[in-house]
Structure 1
């Protein structure tokens, strides 16, 4: 998976063939890859799942360490920015897959962007904040979508501006959403 992700990140989705991936791993042929994966679609689907699984493990550890909704929301924002900063190749591969992956007989990778279950974790965090009174009343769906899309755009920003100040980005988003969610005293 690592070689697949690195190949996509370096060469782009369309150039990431079994042959290129085998070359990166030092395999003499593509047979070992095709033994485990029937098609490029299956390999790419697994690469995307690997990226999201690694991200989920990282985020869960960071966010669950906090005992208040406000702290957890800030940790969510800062941790995702940190992960994107420290895993640029994975994020570049995810962007490539997102923009180009159209599996046969399946749905496009863009379906992940419209899958509302992907927002469930942030909606639960926001509902928790409302239940405790730390957050004001608002639509958790709208706020979750807004938080998530502000973060989802970061890999695209880094493609356009690789030297973007990610500490500033995290600070601004954390402050923005703290003000947007905060219950008034």
Structure 2
């Protein structure tokens, strides 16, 4: 049974990445897996349950990846570099999942028409804000700027690159990583 549940989630990612949000349905999953819709609804009674599980799983997996690949015990500039690098590498290693999640986040709405997965509290920027604050206040390695604004700039670049990498428009993701690191090293460094 657990195997079927996992197959449904994997098929959901594949369908969402390949065909987008508009055509995604429990019936499409059943047809893709060549099983009855009843088998799908046995595991997930509503499409929303699949979408929530996919998003939660993606961000949990990404956080685990980041925890392994980020350098947080060195300088703030090194932490920023590893944050950028780990984010973009995660996307490059999980293109289909990333594209599926981007489709869900950009399109899934609640009954009042509001985006379900919007980051109203801007939690995704919090690690960057902390890196910038530490680099400004403790190390003095970053110039004065708004940590919140700079975090939004970094996330915007990462998110844009993520979409382009996920659809294979950027094949040289290592080059994209290095260029992004260089841009933000220049943007944040304190000139002596």
TM-score normalised according to structure 1 size: 0.86
Show CA shifts across 1:53-108 (max 9, x none): 11111112211454221111101111111111111101111221123212335741
Shift of 1:23: 4.1
**Aligned to 2:10, which of 2, 14, 37?**
2
Contact 1:44–1:97 (CA<8 Å) still a contact in 2?
yes
Tell me how far apart the structure 1 counterparts of residues 166 and 91 of structure 2 sit (CA, whole Å). 12
The equivalent residue for 1:15 is 23
- Aligned partner of 2:124 in structure 1 is 118
Q: What SS does structure 2 have at the residue aligned with 1:79?
A: helix
Distance 1:15 1:81 in 2: 28
Moved more, 130-139 or 34-43: 34-43
Moved more, 37-46 or 16-25: 16-25
- Structure 1 position 34, deviation (Å): 2.0
In structure 1, the gaps of 5 or more residues are none
Q: Distance in 1 between matches of 2:44 and 2:168?
A: 35
Q: Is the 8 A contact 2:106 2:115 kept in 1?
A: no
Residues matched between the structures, number: 183
* 2:96 maps to 1:89: yes
> For residue 136 of structure 1, what is the aligned residue in structure 2?
143
Stretches of 4+ moved more than 6 A in 1? none
Residue 183 of structure 1 is matched in structure 2 by 190
Q: CA RMSD in A?
A: 2.3
Equivalents in 1 of 2:65, 2:167: separation in Å?
25
Distance 1:23 1:163 in 2: 32
Distance in 1 of aligned mates of 2:131 and 2:45: 39
2:59 to 52, 58, 65: 52
Say if 2:76 and 2:132, in contact at 8 Å, map to a contact too.
yes
What CA deviation, in whole Å up to 9, does each residue of 1:112-148 have, x standing for no partner?
Answer: 3x43222111111111211221212211001111111
TM-score (normalised: structure 2)? 0.83
